Amino acid sequence: MFKEQSIGKVLTENDVTDENIFLNRRKMLKRMGFVGAGSLLATSQNANAISLFGKKKESFVTAPVAHTKNTEYQITETLTPESKVTTYNNFYEFGTSKSDPAENAQSLTVNPWEVKITGAVEKSFTLSYDDLYNMFDIEERIYRFRCVEAWSMVIPWLGFPLYKLIKKAKPLSKAKYVAFKTLYRPSEMPGQKSRFVGGGIDYPYVEGLRMDEAMHPLTLMSVGVYGKTLPPQNGAPIRLVVPWKYGFKSIKSVVEINFTEKEPPTTWNILAPQEYGFYANVNPAVSHPRWSQASERRITSGGLLTRNRIDTLPFNGYSEVASLYDGMNLRKYY
Protein backbone atom coordinates (compact mmCIF):
# COMPACT_ATOMS: atom_id res chain seq x y z
CA MET A 1 0.00 0.00 0.00
CA PHE A 2 2.71 2.50 0.90
CA LYS A 3 4.69 1.64 -2.17
CA GLU A 4 1.65 2.35 -4.30
CA GLN A 5 1.03 5.67 -2.61
CA SER A 6 4.53 6.83 -3.30
CA ILE A 7 4.02 6.23 -7.02
CA GLY A 8 0.64 7.96 -7.15
CA LYS A 9 -0.44 11.34 -5.88
CA VAL A 10 1.01 12.45 -2.54
CA LEU A 11 -1.70 12.39 0.10
CA THR A 12 -1.88 14.82 2.99
CA GLU A 13 -2.94 13.63 6.43
CA ASN A 14 -6.46 14.89 5.73
CA ASP A 15 -6.74 12.79 2.65
CA VAL A 16 -5.86 9.51 4.23
CA THR A 17 -9.24 7.85 4.18
CA ASP A 18 -9.96 4.39 2.88
CA GLU A 19 -11.68 5.79 -0.17
CA ASN A 20 -8.88 8.17 -1.09
CA ILE A 21 -6.28 5.50 -0.71
CA PHE A 22 -8.32 3.21 -2.89
CA LEU A 23 -8.69 5.94 -5.53
CA ASN A 24 -5.03 6.81 -5.35
CA ARG A 25 -4.20 3.20 -5.91
CA ARG A 26 -6.42 2.81 -8.92
CA LYS A 27 -5.14 6.04 -10.47
CA MET A 28 -1.67 4.57 -10.24
CA LEU A 29 -2.87 1.34 -11.84
CA LYS A 30 -4.51 3.38 -14.57
CA ARG A 31 -1.29 5.25 -15.25
CA MET A 32 0.47 1.94 -15.52
CA GLY A 33 -2.12 0.83 -18.03
CA PHE A 34 -3.62 -1.98 -15.96
CA VAL A 35 -7.15 -0.61 -15.89
CA GLY A 36 -9.00 1.57 -18.35
CA ALA A 37 -11.62 4.20 -17.67
CA GLY A 38 -14.26 1.56 -18.38
CA SER A 39 -13.36 -0.46 -15.32
CA LEU A 40 -13.87 2.38 -12.86
CA LEU A 41 -15.98 1.24 -9.96
CA ALA A 42 -19.57 2.38 -10.29
CA THR A 43 -21.01 4.04 -7.22
CA SER A 44 -24.06 5.74 -8.68
CA GLN A 45 -26.83 5.59 -6.13
CA ASN A 46 -29.44 5.58 -8.83
CA ALA A 47 -27.85 3.08 -11.20
CA ASN A 48 -30.56 0.81 -12.52
CA ALA A 49 -33.26 2.80 -10.77
CA ILE A 50 -36.64 1.17 -11.06
CA SER A 51 -39.05 3.36 -13.01
CA LEU A 52 -42.66 3.93 -12.08
CA PHE A 53 -43.60 1.18 -14.49
CA GLY A 54 -41.51 -1.36 -12.67
CA LYS A 55 -39.05 -1.60 -15.55
CA LYS A 56 -35.35 -1.05 -15.10
CA LYS A 57 -34.50 2.41 -16.35
CA GLU A 58 -31.07 2.98 -17.88
CA SER A 59 -29.17 5.29 -15.59
CA PHE A 60 -25.84 6.99 -16.15
CA VAL A 61 -23.14 5.46 -13.98
CA THR A 62 -20.72 7.82 -12.24
CA ALA A 63 -17.31 6.73 -10.95
CA PRO A 64 -14.96 7.91 -8.20
CA VAL A 65 -12.26 10.38 -9.24
CA ALA A 66 -8.88 10.54 -7.50
CA HIS A 67 -8.52 13.97 -5.91
CA THR A 68 -7.20 15.97 -2.99
CA LYS A 69 -9.12 18.52 -0.95
CA ASN A 70 -8.03 22.09 -1.61
CA THR A 71 -7.99 23.47 1.94
CA GLU A 72 -8.34 27.07 0.70
CA TYR A 73 -11.87 26.36 -0.49
CA GLN A 74 -13.53 24.44 2.32
CA ILE A 75 -16.35 26.70 3.55
CA THR A 76 -18.27 25.79 6.68
CA GLU A 77 -21.82 26.27 5.32
CA THR A 78 -23.90 23.10 5.18
CA LEU A 79 -23.58 21.23 1.90
CA THR A 80 -26.62 20.87 -0.31
CA PRO A 81 -27.32 17.12 -0.34
CA GLU A 82 -26.15 15.19 -3.37
CA SER A 83 -29.71 14.06 -4.03
CA LYS A 84 -30.71 17.71 -4.62
CA VAL A 85 -27.58 18.75 -6.50
CA THR A 86 -28.28 15.98 -9.02
CA THR A 87 -32.06 16.29 -9.37
CA TYR A 88 -32.78 20.04 -9.25
CA ASN A 89 -31.04 21.30 -12.37
CA ASN A 90 -31.05 23.81 -15.19
CA PHE A 91 -29.89 22.23 -18.44
CA TYR A 92 -32.30 23.36 -21.13
CA GLU A 93 -30.85 20.97 -23.72
CA PHE A 94 -32.84 18.35 -21.77
CA GLY A 95 -35.96 20.41 -21.02
CA THR A 96 -36.90 23.46 -19.00
CA SER A 97 -38.24 22.04 -15.75
CA LYS A 98 -35.89 21.37 -12.89
CA SER A 99 -36.51 17.61 -12.98
CA ASP A 100 -36.07 17.27 -16.76
CA PRO A 101 -32.26 17.03 -16.92
CA ALA A 102 -32.02 14.17 -14.42
CA GLU A 103 -34.79 12.43 -16.33
CA ASN A 104 -33.72 12.99 -19.92
CA ALA A 105 -29.92 13.18 -19.80
CA GLN A 106 -29.10 9.69 -18.56
CA SER A 107 -28.08 8.27 -21.93
CA LEU A 108 -25.80 11.15 -22.95
CA THR A 109 -22.60 9.74 -24.45
CA VAL A 110 -19.64 11.36 -22.66
CA ASN A 111 -16.86 8.95 -23.64
CA PRO A 112 -15.35 9.54 -26.15
CA TRP A 113 -15.28 13.30 -25.59
CA GLU A 114 -13.19 16.11 -27.04
CA VAL A 115 -12.58 19.65 -25.82
CA LYS A 116 -10.91 21.80 -28.49
CA ILE A 117 -8.65 24.57 -27.19
CA THR A 118 -8.39 27.00 -30.06
CA GLY A 119 -8.35 30.60 -31.33
CA ALA A 120 -5.76 33.24 -30.43
CA VAL A 121 -3.25 30.87 -28.81
CA GLU A 122 0.29 29.71 -29.51
CA LYS A 123 -0.67 26.09 -28.90
CA SER A 124 -4.03 24.72 -30.00
CA PHE A 125 -4.76 21.29 -28.59
CA THR A 126 -7.58 18.88 -27.87
CA LEU A 127 -8.39 17.21 -24.56
CA SER A 128 -9.61 13.62 -24.69
CA TYR A 129 -11.95 12.05 -22.14
CA ASP A 130 -9.01 10.59 -20.20
CA ASP A 131 -7.15 13.93 -20.30
CA LEU A 132 -9.99 15.52 -18.35
CA TYR A 133 -9.02 13.50 -15.28
CA ASN A 134 -5.30 13.08 -15.82
CA MET A 135 -3.79 16.20 -17.38
CA PHE A 136 -4.14 18.29 -14.21
CA ASP A 137 -4.37 17.40 -10.52
CA ILE A 138 -8.01 17.12 -9.53
CA GLU A 139 -8.99 19.09 -6.41
CA GLU A 140 -12.17 19.21 -4.40
CA ARG A 141 -13.47 22.72 -3.78
CA ILE A 142 -16.63 23.62 -1.92
CA TYR A 143 -18.31 26.64 -3.52
CA ARG A 144 -21.54 28.53 -3.07
CA PHE A 145 -23.57 28.38 -6.28
CA ARG A 146 -26.16 31.12 -6.93
CA CYS A 147 -28.67 30.88 -9.77
CA VAL A 148 -30.09 34.09 -11.23
CA GLU A 149 -33.51 32.66 -10.26
CA ALA A 150 -32.62 33.42 -6.59
CA TRP A 151 -31.96 29.92 -5.30
CA SER A 152 -28.57 28.69 -4.18
CA MET A 153 -26.66 25.59 -3.19
CA VAL A 154 -23.34 24.68 -1.55
CA ILE A 155 -21.58 22.16 -3.77
CA PRO A 156 -18.39 20.09 -3.42
CA TRP A 157 -16.99 20.23 -6.96
CA LEU A 158 -14.04 18.29 -8.32
CA GLY A 159 -11.92 19.92 -10.98
CA PHE A 160 -8.89 21.99 -11.91
CA PRO A 161 -8.53 25.77 -12.18
CA LEU A 162 -8.99 27.03 -15.74
CA TYR A 163 -5.76 29.07 -15.54
CA LYS A 164 -3.72 25.86 -15.70
CA LEU A 165 -5.24 25.01 -19.05
CA ILE A 166 -4.86 28.59 -20.29
CA LYS A 167 -1.15 28.58 -19.39
CA LYS A 168 -0.71 25.44 -21.47
CA ALA A 169 -2.44 27.06 -24.45
CA LYS A 170 -0.28 30.22 -24.24
CA PRO A 171 -2.78 32.84 -25.40
CA LEU A 172 -1.49 35.56 -27.74
CA SER A 173 -1.54 39.12 -26.40
CA LYS A 174 -4.55 39.91 -28.61
CA ALA A 175 -6.63 37.28 -26.76
CA LYS A 176 -8.89 39.31 -24.46
CA TYR A 177 -11.80 36.91 -23.91
CA VAL A 178 -12.46 33.19 -23.61
CA ALA A 179 -15.52 31.74 -25.35
CA PHE A 180 -17.06 28.39 -24.36
CA LYS A 181 -19.40 26.13 -26.29
CA THR A 182 -21.61 23.24 -25.16
CA LEU A 183 -22.00 20.02 -27.12
CA TYR A 184 -24.45 20.22 -30.03
CA ARG A 185 -25.97 16.76 -30.44
CA PRO A 186 -29.72 16.91 -31.11
CA SER A 187 -29.92 13.10 -31.30
CA GLU A 188 -29.19 12.97 -27.56
CA MET A 189 -30.45 16.39 -26.47
CA PRO A 190 -34.21 16.71 -26.99
CA GLY A 191 -34.15 20.45 -26.29
CA GLN A 192 -31.96 20.97 -29.35
CA LYS A 193 -34.52 19.24 -31.56
CA SER A 194 -37.49 21.33 -30.51
CA ARG A 195 -37.68 25.01 -29.57
CA PHE A 196 -40.61 24.10 -27.37
CA VAL A 197 -38.61 21.59 -25.30
CA GLY A 198 -35.42 23.69 -25.35
CA GLY A 199 -36.87 26.94 -24.09
CA GLY A 200 -36.35 28.90 -27.32
CA ILE A 201 -32.56 28.91 -27.06
CA ASP A 202 -30.51 28.88 -30.27
CA TYR A 203 -28.15 25.98 -29.65
CA PRO A 204 -25.33 25.31 -29.02
CA TYR A 205 -25.33 27.08 -25.64
CA VAL A 206 -22.42 29.53 -25.55
CA GLU A 207 -20.76 31.51 -22.75
CA GLY A 208 -17.74 33.69 -22.22
CA LEU A 209 -15.41 35.31 -19.73
CA ARG A 210 -12.97 38.19 -19.87
CA MET A 211 -9.40 36.89 -19.80
CA ASP A 212 -8.72 38.13 -16.26
CA GLU A 213 -11.91 36.40 -15.05
CA ALA A 214 -10.88 33.20 -16.79
CA MET A 215 -7.41 33.41 -15.20
CA HIS A 216 -8.75 34.02 -11.68
CA PRO A 217 -7.82 31.13 -9.34
CA LEU A 218 -11.50 30.68 -8.34
CA THR A 219 -12.54 29.83 -11.90
CA LEU A 220 -12.86 26.07 -12.10
CA MET A 221 -13.25 23.50 -14.85
CA SER A 222 -15.28 20.88 -13.02
CA VAL A 223 -15.15 17.18 -13.87
CA GLY A 224 -16.99 15.87 -10.83
CA VAL A 225 -19.19 16.45 -7.84
CA TYR A 226 -19.45 14.67 -4.50
CA GLY A 227 -16.26 12.69 -5.17
CA LYS A 228 -17.42 11.20 -8.46
CA THR A 229 -17.53 12.02 -12.16
CA LEU A 230 -20.25 14.52 -13.10
CA PRO A 231 -23.64 13.06 -13.89
CA PRO A 232 -24.95 14.29 -17.27
CA GLN A 233 -27.56 16.54 -15.67
CA ASN A 234 -24.73 18.51 -14.03
CA GLY A 235 -22.76 18.91 -17.26
CA ALA A 236 -20.76 15.74 -17.79
CA PRO A 237 -18.00 15.22 -18.50
CA ILE A 238 -16.67 18.80 -18.01
CA ARG A 239 -18.31 22.12 -17.20
CA LEU A 240 -17.29 25.58 -16.09
CA VAL A 241 -17.91 26.83 -12.51
CA VAL A 242 -17.57 30.56 -11.81
CA PRO A 243 -18.77 30.91 -8.21
CA TRP A 244 -19.10 34.71 -8.07
CA LYS A 245 -21.37 34.86 -11.12
CA TYR A 246 -24.96 33.77 -11.66
CA GLY A 247 -25.26 30.09 -12.51
CA PHE A 248 -25.97 30.56 -16.21
CA LYS A 249 -22.33 31.56 -16.77
CA SER A 250 -21.29 28.08 -15.58
CA ILE A 251 -21.74 26.39 -18.96
CA LYS A 252 -22.11 22.62 -19.05
CA SER A 253 -20.74 19.79 -21.21
CA VAL A 254 -18.07 21.97 -22.80
CA VAL A 255 -16.58 20.96 -26.19
CA GLU A 256 -14.73 24.15 -27.17
CA ILE A 257 -12.68 26.82 -25.43
CA ASN A 258 -11.86 29.57 -27.91
CA PHE A 259 -9.63 32.60 -27.24
CA THR A 260 -10.98 35.75 -28.87
CA GLU A 261 -10.22 39.44 -29.32
CA LYS A 262 -13.84 40.56 -28.94
CA GLU A 263 -16.44 39.90 -26.26
CA PRO A 264 -18.15 36.68 -27.33
CA PRO A 265 -21.93 36.30 -27.59
CA THR A 266 -23.56 34.52 -24.63
CA THR A 267 -26.77 32.50 -24.72
CA TRP A 268 -28.93 34.23 -22.10
CA ASN A 269 -27.82 37.66 -23.23
CA ILE A 270 -28.89 36.81 -26.80
CA LEU A 271 -32.25 35.54 -25.54
CA ALA A 272 -33.08 38.44 -23.19
CA PRO A 273 -30.41 41.18 -23.23
CA GLN A 274 -32.30 43.50 -20.89
CA GLU A 275 -32.41 40.74 -18.24
CA TYR A 276 -29.06 38.97 -18.54
CA GLY A 277 -25.77 40.73 -19.16
CA PHE A 278 -22.35 39.45 -20.16
CA TYR A 279 -20.89 39.97 -16.67
CA ALA A 280 -23.69 38.50 -14.53
CA ASN A 281 -21.80 39.04 -11.28
CA VAL A 282 -23.93 38.13 -8.26
CA ASN A 283 -25.10 41.51 -6.98
CA PRO A 284 -27.78 42.00 -4.30
CA ALA A 285 -27.95 45.72 -5.13
CA VAL A 286 -29.03 45.27 -8.75
CA SER A 287 -32.45 43.65 -9.20
CA HIS A 288 -33.41 41.49 -12.10
CA PRO A 289 -36.15 43.41 -13.99
CA ARG A 290 -38.72 40.89 -12.69
CA TRP A 291 -37.45 40.06 -9.17
CA SER A 292 -35.12 41.19 -6.41
CA GLN A 293 -31.64 39.72 -6.08
CA ALA A 294 -31.25 40.87 -2.44
CA SER A 295 -31.92 37.42 -0.99
CA GLU A 296 -31.95 33.80 -2.06
CA ARG A 297 -33.46 30.44 -1.13
CA ARG A 298 -30.67 28.17 0.06
CA ILE A 299 -31.45 24.61 -0.95
CA THR A 300 -30.70 22.35 2.00
CA SER A 301 -31.86 18.96 3.19
CA GLY A 302 -35.10 20.40 4.54
CA GLY A 303 -38.42 20.38 2.70
CA LEU A 304 -40.07 23.31 0.94
CA LEU A 305 -41.35 24.72 4.22
CA THR A 306 -37.88 24.99 5.76
CA ARG A 307 -36.88 28.58 6.55
CA ASN A 308 -33.91 29.05 4.31
CA ARG A 309 -34.08 32.60 2.97
CA ILE A 310 -30.67 34.20 3.34
CA ASP A 311 -29.16 37.50 2.26
CA THR A 312 -27.33 37.44 -1.04
CA LEU A 313 -23.73 38.65 -0.77
CA PRO A 314 -21.93 40.84 -3.34
CA PHE A 315 -19.99 38.56 -5.70
CA ASN A 316 -21.72 35.67 -3.89
CA GLY A 317 -19.35 36.24 -0.96
CA TYR A 318 -16.18 36.00 -3.07
CA SER A 319 -15.05 39.58 -2.35
CA GLU A 320 -11.53 38.79 -3.58
CA VAL A 321 -12.76 39.25 -7.16
CA ALA A 322 -14.04 42.81 -6.57
CA SER A 323 -10.77 44.34 -7.80
CA LEU A 324 -11.37 42.84 -11.26
CA TYR A 325 -14.17 45.39 -11.64
CA ASP A 326 -12.55 48.51 -10.18
CA GLY A 327 -13.98 51.61 -11.81
CA MET A 328 -16.76 49.71 -13.62
CA ASN A 329 -20.40 50.66 -13.22
CA LEU A 330 -21.90 47.33 -12.16
CA ARG A 331 -25.43 48.59 -12.87
CA LYS A 332 -24.53 49.19 -16.48
CA TYR A 333 -22.41 46.05 -16.79
CA TYR A 334 -24.87 43.65 -15.14
Q: Which positions touch ligand MTE (CB under 6 A)?
A: 89-93, 147, 182, 205, 234-235, 247-248, 250-253
Residue among 136 and 244 whose Cβ is closer to Mo ion: 244
* Inter-residue contact 258 to 275 (CB < 8 Å): no
Residues 37-76 within binding reach of Mo ion (CB under 5 A): none
Phi-psi region of 5 (alpha: psi -120 to 50; beta: other; left: phi over 0): alpha
Least distance in angstroms from the C-beta of 31 to Mo ion:
37
Specify the DSSP class assigned to residue 294.
S
Q: Which residues contact 7 (CB under 8 A, 6 or more apart)?
A: 28, 31
Instruction: Give the one entry of Mo ion, ligand MTE, none that residue 318 binds, where binding means its C-beta sits below a cut-off of 5 to 8 angstroms depending on kind.
Output: none
Q: Which residues contact 175 (CB under 8 A, 6 or more apart)?
A: 119, 120, 121, 211, 259, 260, 261
The Cα angle at residue 330 between residues 326 and 334, in degrees rounded to 5: 135
Instruction: Give the one entry of ligand MTE, Mo ion, none that residue 182 binds, where binding means its C-beta sits below a cut-off of 5 to 8 angstroms depending on kind.
Output: ligand MTE
In terms of residues, how long is the chain? 334
- Greatest Cα-to-Cα distance within the chain, rounded to the nearest angstrom: 60
Least distance in angstroms from the C-beta of 4 to ligand MTE:
34
232 binds Mo ion (CB under 5 A): no
Instruction: Give the one entry of Mo ion, ligand MTE, none that residue 93 binds, where binding means its C-beta sits below a cut-off of 5 to 8 angstroms depending on kind.
Output: ligand MTE
* Stretch (H or E) spanning 71: strand 68-74
160 binds Mo ion (CB under 5 A): no
Instruction: Give the one entry of ligand MTE, Mo ion, none that residue 276 binds, where binding means its C-beta sits below a cut-off of 5 to 8 angstroms depending on kind.
Output: none
Least distance in angstroms from the C-beta of 87 to ligand MTE:
9
The Cα angle at residue 78 between residues 298 and 225, in degrees rounded to 5: 90
227 binds Mo ion (CB under 5 A): no
Strands 206-210, 220-225: parallel, antiparallel or unpaired by DSSP? unpaired
Q: How far apart are the first and last CA of the chain?
A: 52
251 binds Mo ion (CB under 5 A): no
Residue among 132 and 147 whose Cβ is closer to ligand MTE: 147
Instruction: Give the one entry of Mo ion, ligand MTE, none that residue 177 binds, where binding means its C-beta sits below a cut-off of 5 to 8 angstroms depending on kind.
Output: none
Q: What is the dihedral sign for C-alpha 92, 278, 287, 299? A: positive
248 binds Mo ion (CB under 5 A): yes
Residue among 171 and 268 whose Cβ is closer to ligand MTE: 268
Instruction: Give the one entry of Mo ion, ligand MTE, none that residue 251 binds, where binding means its C-beta sits below a cut-off of 5 to 8 angstroms depending on kind.
Output: ligand MTE
Name the segment binding Mo ion (CB under 5 A); options: 41-49, 50-58, 106-114, 144-152. 144-152
Least distance in angstroms from the C-beta of 146 to Mo ion:
8
* Inter-residue contact 145 to 155 (CB < 8 Å): yes
Nearest alpha carbon to residue 249 among 214, 201, 224, 288: 214
Name the segment binding Mo ion (CB under 5 A); options: 23-31, 88-96, 231-239, 309-317. 88-96
Least distance in angstroms from the C-beta of 268 to Mo ion:
8
Residues at the interface with Mo ion (CB under 5 A): 90, 147-148, 247-248
